[in-house]
């Protein structure tokens, strides 16, 4: 683990060099012949190039990376169960989107051009003659997975995007503007990059392995599972879910939910992939935790900063059953006595209070433990991106969407539910597909709250996003939400359309 992220730190100094591959005015040059008298000259150089491009995007490091709090909130917050209270994020959290509204442009502006960089690095690696063939194959696979994964993330938010061929990227005289890909082109791009990457990656890495944190076969299959679910291709989704149950990945539901989100619980057998953190090298969950803790809450670590930004909605919090262990142990703060003696609760802050009260918008969504060694908002705790509980509950949905409620699907849901200290459902509790899906979507929400963009995608794929967003807005009196189905996709940034010479078409409804 430490070897991999130290390599990342060193490789970040190369970003201006690698970014220049697709962004500078250059003289005509043959990009198919690598000038190895400059860079990269060695196998380690090539690895630094891969790490500094692919892994630079898929990280959570303070304010940088696709999973950093300010970027991830732009897609996590667009659902019914969470609220971002921070000033410029707050209007967006109600789903009444507008062109160039912050933070709707965040994901595009931060990552879209990286697809071109990833492709150029992949192309360059194919011409290096001094690297071991197996290592070179893995490096190319990492770049392919990065392309498929990032394209998937962008597709879920903006729909089809322009896909620039490598020949155009490597020709600085090519000034052609490319429109958005067709459905077939988008599907081919995502699926082919992921499926071609998987064979040359390791199945999974154990915690403590120097390569822990690199892309793996398990990660590739998880992304494909999520993609096929959104395409409603239940048969292919089921196949990917079953693949992740193969013993070669060693995945399991660990006994205690809380342990997933602690420093001591890092590297658990449930995690499929996480953003690796190491103090002094690359930050972990600290910004998220600080952004969740109420201003006047005593978290037991004096140095920890508290910004009161992330909350669960009150209706969602009240949907948890008594004894559910997924909102205990400080993971959710629904009542407390503040440092100045003020009593905070649903009754005091919401029912009899106003938006100036700490818990007015909802209980604090902390989830991760406060790093006891933090000096402010730094953390040594890894941020989990995908885990096995997500995979097996998606598998349960794929099964039910094809065959209706089955004993196997019920058992998959119950594996997550009973871990939380709740009684297992019986088949009599889920007599039909509609009832099963109601319970499964609620179970996934209780299990996965504030993890990646699972909830928004769950609602979209089940045609519930508009309905649930209206319920959220009505509860809080945010009647400005006008319920446009078109808001299921974000608007394309105006500057991107202008830069393309209007080759990129805006999404419908904007």
One DSSP character per residue, 109-149 reads HHHTTHHHHHHHHHHHHTT-SSS-HHHHHHHHHHHHHHHHH
Start-end of H helices in 257-386: 286-292, 314-317
Across residues 344-354, what is the average pLDDT? 98
Across residues 254-268, what is the average pLDDT? 97
Across residues 123-127, what is the average pLDDT? 89
pLDDT higher at 482 or 399: 399
Q: What is the pLDDT of residue 10?
A: 47
- Rounded-to-10 torsion of CA 326, 330, 331, 337: 110
Q: Residue 78 burial by CB count (10 A; 0-12/13-18/19+): exposed, middle or buried?
A: buried
Q: What is the pLDDT of residue 70?
A: 64
Report which secondary-structure segment, H or E, holds 444. helix 433-448
Across residues 421-449, what is the average pLDDT? 99
Burial pattern 115-141, b for ≥16 Cβ within 10 A else e, equals bbbbbbbbbbbeebeebeeeebbbbbb
Q: What is the pLDDT of residue 20?
A: 44
Q: What is the pLDDT of residue 324?
A: 99
Q: What is the pLDDT of residue 27?
A: 38
Across residues 13-34, what is the average pLDDT? 42
Across residues 287-300, what is the average pLDDT? 94
Burial pattern 284-303, b for ≥16 Cβ within 10 A else e, equals bbbbbbbbbbbebbebebee
Of residues 297, 300, 324, 327, the one with CA closest to residue 312: 327
Across residues 481-496, what is the average pLDDT? 89
Beta bridge mates, 82: 312
Q: What is the pLDDT of residue 61?
A: 67
User: Could you tell me the two tokens for 325?
Assistant: 């262990």
User: Could you tell me the two tokens for 285?
Assistant: 């969950």
Instruction: Say whether pLDDT at 197 is over 90.
Output: yes
Across residues 396-424, what is the average pLDDT? 99
Q: Mean pLDDT of all residues in the chain?
A: 90
Residues in the chain: 510
d(CA 508, CA 505): 9
Q: What is the pLDDT of residue 35?
A: 52
Cis bond before residue 103 (omega within 30° of 0): yes
Question: What residues does each domain of the chain span?
Answer: 2-81+99-201+491-499, 285-379
Q: What is the pLDDT of residue 235?
A: 99
Q: What is the pLDDT of residue 178?
A: 93
Q: Which residues contact 217 (CB under 8 A, 6 or more apart)?
A: 198, 199, 201, 202, 203, 204, 249
Least confident interval from 32-41, 257-266, 290-299, 356-365: 32-41
pLDDT higher at 275 or 234: 234
Instruction: Say whether pLDDT at 351 is over 50.
Output: yes
Q: What is the pTM of this model?
A: 0.93
Q: What is the pLDDT of residue 75?
A: 81
Pick the CATH number of 2-81+99-201+491-499 from 1.10.10.60, 2.170.8.10, 1.25.40.890, 3.40.50.720: 1.25.40.890
User: Could you tell me the two tokens for 478?
Assistant: 């945010």
């Amino acid at each position: 683990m430490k070897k991999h992220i130290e390599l990342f730190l060193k490789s970040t100094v190369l970003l201006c060099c690698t970014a220049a591959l697709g962004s500078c005015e250059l003289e005509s040059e043959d990009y198919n012949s690598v000038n190895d008298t400059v860079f990269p000259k060695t196998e380690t150089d090539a690895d630094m190039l891969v790490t500094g491009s692919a892994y630079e995007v898929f990280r959570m490091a303070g304010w940088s990376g696709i999973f950093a709090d300010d970027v991830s909130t732009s897609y996590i917050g667009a659902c019914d169960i969470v609220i971002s209270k921070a000033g410029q994020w707050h209007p967006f959290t109600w789903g009444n989107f507008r062109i160039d509204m912050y933070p709707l442009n965040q994901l595009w502006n931060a990552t879209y051009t990286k697809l071109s960089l990833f492709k150029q690095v992949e192309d360059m690696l194919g011409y290096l003659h001094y690297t071991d063939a197996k290592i070179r194959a893995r490096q190319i696979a990492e770049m392919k997975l990065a392309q498929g994964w990032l394209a998937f993330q962008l597709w879920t938010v903006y729909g089809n995007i322009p896909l620039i061929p490598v020949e155009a990227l490597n020709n600085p005289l090519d000034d052609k503007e490319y429109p958005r890909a067709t459905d077939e082109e988008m599907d081919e791009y995502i699926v082919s990059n992921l499926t071609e990457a998987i064979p040359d990656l390791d199945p999974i890495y154990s915690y403590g392995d120097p390569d822990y944190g690199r892309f793996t076969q398990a990660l590739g299959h998880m992304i494909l599972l999520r993609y096929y679910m959104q395409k409603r291709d239940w048969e292919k989704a089921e196949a990917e879910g079953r693949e992740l149950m193969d013993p070669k990945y060693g995945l399991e539901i660990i006994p205690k939910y809380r342990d997933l989100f602690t420093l001591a619980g890092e590297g658990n057998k449930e995690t499929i992939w996480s953003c690796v953190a190491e103090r002094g090298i690359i930050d972990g969950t600290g910004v998220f935790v600080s952004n969740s803790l109420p201003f006047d809450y005593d978290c037991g670590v004096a140095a920890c900063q508290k910004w009161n930004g992330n909350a669960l909605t009150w209706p969602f919090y009240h949907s948890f059953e008594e004894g559910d262990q997924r909102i205990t142990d400080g993971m959710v703060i629904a009542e407390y006595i503040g440092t100045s003696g003020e009593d905070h609760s649903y009754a005091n802050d919401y029912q009899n209070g106003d938006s100036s009260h700490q818990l007015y918008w909802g209980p604090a969504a902390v989830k991760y433990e406060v790093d006891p060694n933090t000096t402010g908002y730094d953390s040594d705790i890894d941020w989990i991106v995908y885990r096995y509980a997500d995979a097996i509950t998606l598998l349960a949905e794929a099964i039910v969407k094809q065959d209706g409620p089955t004993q196997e699907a019920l058992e998959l849901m119950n594996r997550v539910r009973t871990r939380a200290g709740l009684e297992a459902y019986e088949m009599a509790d889920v007599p039909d597909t509609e009832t099963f899906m109601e319970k499964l979507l609620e179970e996934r929400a209780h299990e996965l709250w504030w993890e990646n963009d699972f909830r928004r995608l769950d609602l979209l794929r089940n045609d519930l996003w508009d309905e649930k967003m209206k319920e959220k807005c009505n509860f809080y009196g945010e009647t400005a939400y006008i319920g446009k189905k078109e808001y299921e996709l974000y608007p394309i940034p105006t500057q991107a359309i202008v830069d393309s010479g209007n080759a990129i078409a805006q999404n419908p409804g904007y």
